[in-house]
Chains A and B, each alone.
Chain A
Amino acid sequence: MADTATKTEEAHSDHHDDHHHDQSFWSKYVFSTDHKVIGMQYMLTGVAMALIGGFMSYVFRMQLAFPDESVPFFGRVSSLEYNALVTNHGTIMIFWVAMPILIAAFGNFLIPLMCGCDDMVFPRINRLSYQVFLLSAVVLVISFFVPGGGFGGAWTAYPPLSANAEYSLTPMGSTLWILAVALEFVAFLMGGINFITTAMNARAKGMRMFDIPLVVWMIVIASILFMISVGPLIAGAIMLLLDQLVGTAFFNPFRGGDPILWQHLFWFFGHPEVYVVLLPALGIVGEIIPTFARKKFFGYKLALYTVFATGILSFVVWAHHQFIAGVDPRMVHLFTVTTLLISIPIAELCFLYIATLYGGSISFKTPMLWALAFVVEFLIGGVTGIHLGASGADIYMHDTYFVVAHFHYTFFPIAIIGFYAGITFWFPKWTGCMLNEFWGKVHFWLTIIPFNCIFIPLFILGMGGQHRRIYNHQHFSELATPEYQNLRIFATVSLIVMLLAQVIFFVNIILSLRKGKKAGKNPWKANTLEWTTESPPGHGNFKELPEVYRGPYEYSVPGRKEDYWPQDQKE
């Protein structure tokens, strides 16, 4: 291990020296190869896309609550526009918010710092990865404004609808959409190479495999899952692009193709993708809970094994999205079994997080509130997945709002709660300033309470038979009742409250940057290596590359005066 660390040091020495002179704004913030700056670029782009995606949800929720009335700041919503809004809301939130923030931003920022090295192994590939990602985001945003409007065939883009402009009525929108998605995959493939290589080869001297902090493991495993699963979908995306542009018929049943083929390619990627974004969020929470409970992580190795098991199982559950899509009914049994089995490792992980709290000394700082909210809310998303994975019940529940509520109870904790947990926890390290606790807590409660108020009504609506992607439920006699309409209005009002509450967060950030308390090296008294260097870390991260003597969660070790024991302290 010592060898590897030295080699990395040598490999980086060129790159290191280049940057000691004064840099212009452009080379420092725009074309930087520094992992912290690239992480920040991913973070800011992701947050900007989240604002767009959030605005979209406001527009279509207004249409559902007050059908066919003009929506403030948007206007009247046509059915085509409604479809484009829900489609791009889903696409943006998964590919341009959850992925860049959880994997790319935190991965870039944390992996070199937590592994104790000065940068990613391939800094220039890292920069290219962000540039391709930015291009993909620009292509997606352009697709809203082309003639015909943005793509509206749902984020799953099932052909023949997505393959033929004659059916979708968005000739340019659908092509740009699939192009943007493909570019985004290219960006994350390059990012993934870096995350895996850096964590495997460039760790500090003395850091063994089981001394790696959970969040680093999780991002590495997520990158592996992504890289294995994305291949089939890239092939599918090329076929879809050819069907759209050249008139091939890969997915056209009248000319020898098969639309179901796309569904298999899409979900072979699409299901592991859920775990690709889940794992980094679980990792972030796994760093925060031990720190604020002052406890060693309960069953660190067991947690890793369950994550491996989840990762492997996640490759053989994909057809549970297609139970009623016309696949062989006998095949469904296989996927019911694998889908329900995946509840075992996920439940165990949740138990490990809860068990970590046992016997702790828990302080409820803002990052801890977010981390605990993750566990509380994710449990709801997890248990309602069983209703959908059980084939018999899915016959009714499929494509209802029950599904919508279920996956928002998984994705909201992952993408939004995970983001806030991470950003409130590492903000002092990233910027050198503490966030204001009071306003952090106000923001927390004003996000969590409305979040539940949005999605609990949707469970009820889904059980009542309200199906997805309908721009106006008044056309259906069984769904047009005033009781149901009140639930829709309640959800929409809750959404608006939640969106407005996000202003508090941004104001808190700006004020804390200007007037916030200085953080110092280690404000939370945490153990991992990023807390042993300056806040914010300078170029090259560490004055002297650290050496590691123990695992990351040695809190409250008996016989020690301090209740924490940083990884790089010999005694």
Chain B
Amino acid sequence: MIESLIESGSSYSGDIDFLFTLITVIVGIWFIISEVVLFYFLFRYRKRDGVKAEYLSGEKKSHKKWISIPHWLIIACDIVLIVGAVQVWHHIKQKMPPAEETIRIIAQQWAWTFVHPGKDGLLDTDDDITIVDELHLKENTTYHYELSSRDVLHCFSIPIFRLKQDTIPGRKISGWFRPTTTGVHDVQCAEMCGAGHGLMPAILTIHTEEEYAEWLENQTPNLDPDPLKNEQFRGKEIGELAAD
């Protein structure tokens, strides 16, 4: 259902889409049955002259079964859903496949700083490439990310990957993704972070292997390994946003 609205672009986005569809089908059946029964009762038992309502307490066993049978069926459905949810969660958030490259992501009011490993594929070396609000990735490469924040909570969100993770100041949070498509997409901030929260889009470009090598060739490595010291990486001006 989701993939018809937004492209599925990571190795695990299909799992989330499937889980979403599974949930929709299961709860959808319950929903439709409930509403159909409700509207049928409303029609069938509408007030008619000379017809008196029945007297049922719902305390007898023969009546209770109409509640207790659905009760057990719902438990069965819940178990299916819990198993599905736990599997997907475990795959995406708990298990980390080995990384081919690692990206460092630093959030601040109101910008994203992305530290790409340079040609050597390692972070914290002289050829790291640091860019604000632009993330460049290779297709079919497993990435680990290291998330941190300079000030308040933000949320690193890439809809086509179906990925979200809050960033917390003072903590480094790790996770992974593996792009399976190419093209230009949105990175969002999905946690309220102040006046410029709506102005925190970053651009994600996923390249093929060759394009990525070409892109890398044209970049100037950032000689200062700590981008946060560098004033040019300050976010948008506070005054500009606060102005009426």
Q: Is A506 an interface residue (CB 8 A)?
A: no
Q: In the complex, are the beta carbons of B152 and A160 less than 8 A apart? A: yes
**A79 interface contact, C-beta 8 A:** yes
Between-chain CB contacts (< 8 Å), 29 pairs = A78-B242, A164-B152, A168-B194, A254-B170, A293-B45, A294-B52, A298-B58, A302-B67, A326-B165, A326-B173, A329-B93, A330-B94, A336-B85, A340-B85, A347-B70, A351-B34, A354-B34, A383-B31, A384-B27, A387-B20, A392-B84, A393-B20, A397-B20, A460-B5, A463-B5, A469-B192, A477-B201, A478-B185, A479-B186
Contact A396 B20 (CB under 8 A): yes
A299 and B38 in contact, given A79-B195, A152-B195, A387-B20 (Cβ under 8 angstroms) = no
| Residue ID in chain A nearest B153 by CB atoms | A158
Is there a chain B Cβ closer than 8 Å to A169's Cβ?
yes
Residues on B with beta carbons closer than 8 Å to the beta carbon of A152 = 194-195
Q: How large is the interface on B (under 10, 10 to 19, 20 to 34, 35 or more residues)?
A: 35 or more
Contact B197 A260, beta carbon cutoff 8 Å: no
Interfacial chain B residues near A297, Cβ < 8 Å: 58
Binds B, one of A184-192, A355-363, A492-500: A355-363
A399 vs B188: C-alpha distance in the bound complex, in angstroms?
11
- The answer to whether B192 and A333 have CB atoms under 8 Å apart is no
Q: Which 8 pairs across A and B sit closest by C-beta, in order of nearness?
A: A392-B88, A253-B170, A465-B159, A359-B54, A299-B58, A390-B85, A298-B58, A383-B27
Does any Cβ of B come within 8 Å of A517's Cβ?
A: no
**B106 sits at the interface (CB 8 A):** no
Q: Are B55 and A390 in contact (CB under 8 A)?
A: no
Closest chain B residue, CB of each to CB of A84: B195
Taking A259-B168, A380-B31, A386-B81 as contacts, is the C-beta distance between A348 and B66 under 8 angstroms? Answer: no
- Structural contact, A83 and B42, CB atoms closer than 8 A: no
Residues of A within 8 A of B164 (CB): 324, 395-396, 398-399
A392 touches B53 (CB 8 A): no
- Complex: chain A residue closest to B197, CB-CB: A469
Give the residues in chain A near B81, CB-CB below 8 Å.
340, 386, 390
A380 to B152, CA, bound (A): 34
Whether, in the assembled complex, B169 has its beta carbon less than 8 Å from a beta carbon of chain A, the answer is: yes
Query: Contacting A169 at CB < 8 Å: which of B66, B173, B184, B238?
Result: B238
CB <8 Å contact, B190 and A468: yes
Which residue of chain A is the closest to B38 with respect to CB atoms?
A354
Complex alpha-carbon distance, A161 and B152, angstroms: 5
User: Is B151 touching A347 in the complex (CB atoms < 8 A)?
Assistant: no
Question: What chain A residues lie within 8 Å of B206 (beta carbons)?
Answer: none
Decide yes or no: A464 and B16 within 8 Å by CB, A393-B23, A469-B192 being known contacts. no
Query: Is residue A557 contacting chain B, with contact meaning CB distance below 8 A?
Result: yes
Check A182 for interface membership: any CB of B closer than 8 A.
no
Given A76-B244, A167-B151, A355-B66, A464–B74 Cβ distance below 8 Å?
no
B5 — which chain A residues lie within 8 A by C-beta? Answer: 460, 463-465
List residues of chain B with CB under 8 Å of any chain A CB. Answer: 1-2, 5-6, 13, 15-16, 19-20, 23-24, 26-28, 30-31, 34-35, 37-38, 41-42, 45-48, 51-59, 63-64, 66-67, 70-71, 74-75, 78, 81-82, 84-89, 92-94, 109, 151-153, 155, 157, 159-160, 162-171, 173, 184-186, 188, 190-199, 201, 238, 241-244
A465 contact set on B, CB distance < 8 A:
5-6, 159, 186, 188
Which size class do A's interface residues fall under?
Answer: 35 or more
Residue from A164, A329, A372, A464 within 8 A of B89 (CB atoms): A329
Task: Say if the beta carbon of A280 comes within 8 Å of chain B.
Answer: no
Cα separation A339 to B84 with both chains bound (whole Å):
14
A544-565 CB contacts (< 8 Å) to partner B: 555-558, 563
- Do the beta carbons of B166 and A253 come within 8 Å of each other? no
The answer to whether A467 and B190 have CB atoms under 8 Å apart is yes
- CB contact under 8 A between A395 and B194, given known A298-B58, A351-B67: no
Q: Assess the B197–A83 pair: CB atoms within 8 A.
A: yes
A356 partner residues in chain B, CB cutoff 8 A: 58
Whether, in the assembled complex, A470 has its beta carbon less than 8 Å from a beta carbon of chain B, the answer is yes
Complex contacts, B191 vs chain A, CB 8 Å: 158, 399
Question: A294 contacts B53, CB within 8 Å?
Answer: yes
Shortest CB-to-CB span from B223 to chain A, Å, is 27
- A80 CB contact (under 8 Å) in B30, B165, B195, B201: B195
Query: Which residues of A sit under 8 angstroms from B2, Cβ to Cβ?
Result: 396, 463
Q: Which residues of A contact B82 (CB under 8 A)?
A: 336-337, 340, 390
Per a CB cutoff under 8 Å, which of A82, A344, A383 touches B28? A383
A82–B242 CA distance with the chains assembled, in angstroms: 11
Nearest-neighbour CB distance to chain B for A169, whole angstroms, equals 6
A390 and B170: CB pair below 8 A?
A: no
Inter-chain contacts of B238 with A (CB < 8 A): 169
Shortest B131–chain A CB gap in Å is 18
Instruction: List residues 356-374 of chain A with CB under 8 A from any CB of chain B.
Output: 356-364, 372
Task: Check A391/B89 contact, CB under 8 A, given A358-B41, A362-B45, A478-B185.
Answer: yes
Set B19, B31, B59, B153: member contacting A259, Cβ < 8 A: B153
Given A254-B169, A330-B94, A354-B38: A395 touches B89 (CB 8 Å cut-off): yes
Contact of A396 with B241 in the complex, beta carbons under 8 Å: no
Say yes or no for A375: interface residue by CB 8 A criterion.
yes
B163/A395 in contact, CB under 8 A: yes
Is A358 in contact with B56, judged by CB distance below 8 angstroms? yes
Chain B neighbourhood of A66, CB < 8 A: none
Looking at A299, A389, A464, which has the most chain B CB atoms within 10 Å of its CB? A299
Please state if B55 and A392 are interface contacts (CB–CB under 8 Å): no
- Report chain B residues within 8 Å CB of A423: none
Are B93 and A556 in contact (CB-based, < 8 A)?
Answer: no
Report if A236 contacts B (CB, 8 A).
Answer: no
- Chain A residues within an 8 Å CB radius of B163: 395-396
A467 to B190: give the CA distance in the assembly, Å: 6
From the candidates B63, B71, B157, B186, name the one contacting A477 in the complex (CB within 8 A): B186
CB-based contact B70/A392 at 8 Å: no
Give the one of B23, B78, B165, B192 with max A CB within 10 A: B192
**Which chain B residues border A469 with CB–CB below 8 Å?**
192, 197-198
Which of A329, A361, A395 contacts B45 (CB under 8 A)? Answer: A361
**Given contacts A399-B190, A477-B201, could you give 12 more A-B pairs where the C-beta distance is less than 8 Å?**
A158-B191, A167-B151, A325-B166, A332-B89, A336-B82, A362-B41, A362-B45, A383-B28, A387-B20, A389-B85, A477-B184, A478-B185
User: A376 at the A/B interface (Cβ < 8 Å)?
Assistant: yes
Residues in A neighbouring B184, C-beta threshold 8 A: 477
The one of A78, A81, A340 in contact with B78, judged by C-beta atoms closer than 8 angstroms, is: A340
Which of A79, A169, A296 is close to B199, meaning CB atoms less than 8 Å apart? Answer: A79
Contact between A336 and B89 (Cβ–Cβ < 8 Å)?
A: yes
A272, B16: Cα distance in complex, Å? 28
Contact B87 A354 (CB under 8 A): no
